[in-house]
Amino acid sequence: MLKALNVPIAQSIAESNKQTRPGNPDDDQLEHKVLLCKQQKIMLIANLWVDAGLVNGATGTITDIVYDASMQPPTLPLFVVRSSSIAMAETNFKYIIVGGGVAAGYAAREFVKLGLKSGELAIISKEAVAPYERPALSKAYLFPEGAARLPGFHVCVGGGGERQPPEWYFEKGIELILSTELVKADLATKTLTSAEEKTFKYEILIIATGATVIKLSDFGVQGADAKGIYYLREIAEADALIAAIQSKKEGTAVVVGGGYIGLELAAVLRINKYKVKMVYPEPWCMPRLFTADIAAFYEGYYQGKGVEIIKGTVATGFTTDEDGNVKIVKLKDGRELEADIVIVGVGARPLTGLFKGQLEEEKGGIKTDAFFKTSLPDVYAVGDVATFPMKIYGDVRRVEHVDHARKSAAQAVQAIKAKEEGKSIEEYDYLPFFYSRSFDLSWQFYGDNTGEAVIFGDNNPATPKAKFGSYWIKDGKVVGVFLENGSPEENKAIAK
């Protein structure tokens, strides 16, 4: 068992695995084989007597890693080399990526591609797993059969690259520091501090903190902390949702929100044979992207699949049973909806709190240039958290989508390495791209949805495998294109 250390040897191992010597079940003297590891290298295979706190006759505190290696040869996966609570002797890194999502994984890949020495890069993540393709959480991860599971969707499979499970980072000499929440960032001294008061020093920092869900409690909704109300951003939240779905076969769910998450989760709940009601205040779903005509197709399709859609109102409160489990969703228009579970998807906000007052911000995110460099020369920001120049439109924007997370991460690393080598690269020239899949539907959008929208094709939701699209015209130019049910060739063509 991998055990968090920085405590006396005897205490650490005794808590790790209370195993007596064969033939002496009542003997307090616990004998173990342990591996002492430092900087990803096995430094010593030793005998340990727990009662005496001895390792080959030495006493003291272990400040790196111990594996219980009672079985010979040791069978534990030696690539698991870092954990949030492991006290690391070395905390100085050339590069640190804060955040363990999609952008972090793709940045790591780019560093390796361009040349990375062992021990130069660390990724610090509050999640307990290596970076993964987050879009899977609202899709195949929740399927009742044939569900996606790790390591199957670790980055970078979503972008057509090599899968990067934990051992990949070990093999590349990258420190993967998981389950670690940072509570302070001092950019002047280039120091990060964790909740466990561990400090990390860097030369160059990449902020890939992403965004966090907006909760109903942020709006003061009564009962929003009830059991059975779920949000979806991280794999631990998805696991909790799966357990809830499985605990009540063919139950009733209310989905609050009509955006990406709301639509995808409503679909997967129906696939799980739940009765589903969707509630959102807007006149149609996905209003930031869809026109009324586009939305009419998806709303009609969902209704045909048994999803009840309630528009023009919001959840104002929840009623629970005596155990605190949600039972009723109260709406502003006076209606009350029964629910075994409630899933909320009402938006997200960028995680910039660690850096408030230290970096320039714009439009809710951290302001960067076309190379994702912030107002400080050795600090970069990528993905959801970055507000960057949108060259194609001549303005600045913040984009919350996996495609941008992947590409901005690569751009930042390329810029960092180019600067070190005295070279230059092209400015980031991003064409906005969004997509979604639900039921047997699949759409893609490229560009900007401003100007006059023209719809084409068959957008009748009753038509089997309907194919339709829309394009937007502004100042005599096509600035955006949307396509439902396009072939790979057609989807590639609309990007041009």
Taking only the tens place, the pLDDT of each residue in 98-121 is 999 999 999 999 999 999 999 999
Place of tokens 């009402």: 346
Does the pLDDT of residue 197 top 60, yes or no? Answer: yes
Least confident of 73-87, 208-222, 314-328, 423-437: 73-87
More confident position, 194 or 90? 194
Residue 118 burial (CB < 10 Å; 0-12/13-18/19+)? middle
User: Span 219-227, mean pLDDT?
Assistant: 96
CATH code, 216-346: 3.50.50.60
Q: What percent of the chain has a predicted confidence (pLDDT) above 70?
A: 82
Secondary structure in 3-state letters for the chain: CCECCCCEHHHHHHHHCCCCCCCCCCCCCCEEEEEEEECCEEEEEEEEECCCCEECCECCECCCEEEECCCCCCCCCCCCCCCCCCCCCCCEEEEEEECCCHHHHHHHHHHHHHCCCCCCEEEECCCCCCCECHHHHHCHHHCCCCCCCCCCCECCHHHCCCCCCHHHHHHCCCEEECCCCEEEEECCCCEEEECCCCEEEEEEEEECCCEEECCHHHHCCECCCCECEECCCCHHHHHHHHHHHHHCCCCEEEEECCCHHHHHHHHHHHHCCCEEEEEECCCCCCCCCCCHHHHHHHHHHHHHCCEEEEECCCEEEEEECCCCEEEEEEECCCCEEECCEEEECCCEEECCHHHCCCCCEECCEEECCCCCECCCCCEEECHHHEEEEECCCCEEEECCCHHHHHHHHHHHHHHHHHHHCCCCCCCCCCCCEEEEEECCEEEEEEECCCCEEEEEECCCCCCCCCCEEEEEEECCEEEEEEEECCCHHHHHHHCC
Helix axis angle for 292-304 and 260-271, nearest 10°, is 20
Does the pLDDT of residue 266 top 80, yes or no? Answer: yes
Residue 405 burial (CB < 10 Å; 0-12/13-18/19+)? buried
Backbone phi and psi for residue 159, each to the nearest 5 degrees, phi listed first? -100, 15
Report which of 383, 386, 355, 385 is spatially closest to residue 368, judged by C-alpha positions.
386
Q: Are 355 and 258 in contact (CB under 8 A)?
A: no
Instruction: Report the predicted TM-score, pTM, of the whole model to 2 decimal places.
Output: 0.83
Does the pLDDT of residue 77 top 70, yes or no? Answer: no
At 187 the pLDDT is: 99
Does the pLDDT of residue 292 top 50, yes or no? Answer: yes
Residue-range domain boundaries for the chain: 9-68, 92-212+350-420, 216-346, 440-494
Q: Are 352 and 385 in contact (CB under 8 A)?
A: yes
Does the pLDDT of residue 326 top 90, yes or no? Answer: yes
The CATH architecture assigned to 440-494 reads 2-Layer Sandwich (3.30)
| pLDDT level of residue 43 (50, 70, 90 thresholds) | very low
At 249 the pLDDT is: 87
At 317 the pLDDT is: 98
At 495 the pLDDT is: 86
Does the pLDDT of residue 162 top 80, yes or no? Answer: yes
Does the pLDDT of residue 62 top 90, yes or no? Answer: no
More confident position, 77 or 137? 137
The two domains 92-212+350-420 and 440-494 share their CATH topology (first three levels equal) = no
Does the pLDDT of residue 335 top 50, yes or no? Answer: yes
User: Going by DSSP bridges, is the β-strand pair 315-320/326-331 parallel, antiparallel, or unpaired?
Assistant: antiparallel
More confident position, 381 or 60? 381
Least confident of 12-16, 366-370, 444-448: 12-16
| pLDDT level of residue 409 (50, 70, 90 thresholds) | very high
Q: Are 10 and 34 in contact (CB under 8 A)?
A: no
At 27 the pLDDT is: 40
At 44 the pLDDT is: 44
User: Span 289-298, mean pLDDT?
Assistant: 98
Q: What is the pLDDT of residues 339-357, one digit of tens each?
A: 999 999 999 999 999 999 9
More confident position, 496 or 2? 496
| pLDDT level of residue 11 (50, 70, 90 thresholds) | very low
Does the pLDDT of residue 65 top 80, yes or no? Answer: no
At 4 the pLDDT is: 33
Q: What percent of the chain has a predicted confidence (pLDDT) above 90?
A: 81
Q: What is the pLDDT of residues 388-404, one digit of tens each?
A: 999 999 999 999 999 99
CATH code, 92-212+350-420: 3.50.50.60
User: Going by DSSP bridges, is the β-strand pair 121-124/175-177 parallel, antiparallel, or unpaired?
Assistant: parallel
Least confident of 13-27, 39-53, 179-193, 457-471: 13-27
At 102 the pLDDT is: 98
| pLDDT level of residue 122 (50, 70, 90 thresholds) | very high
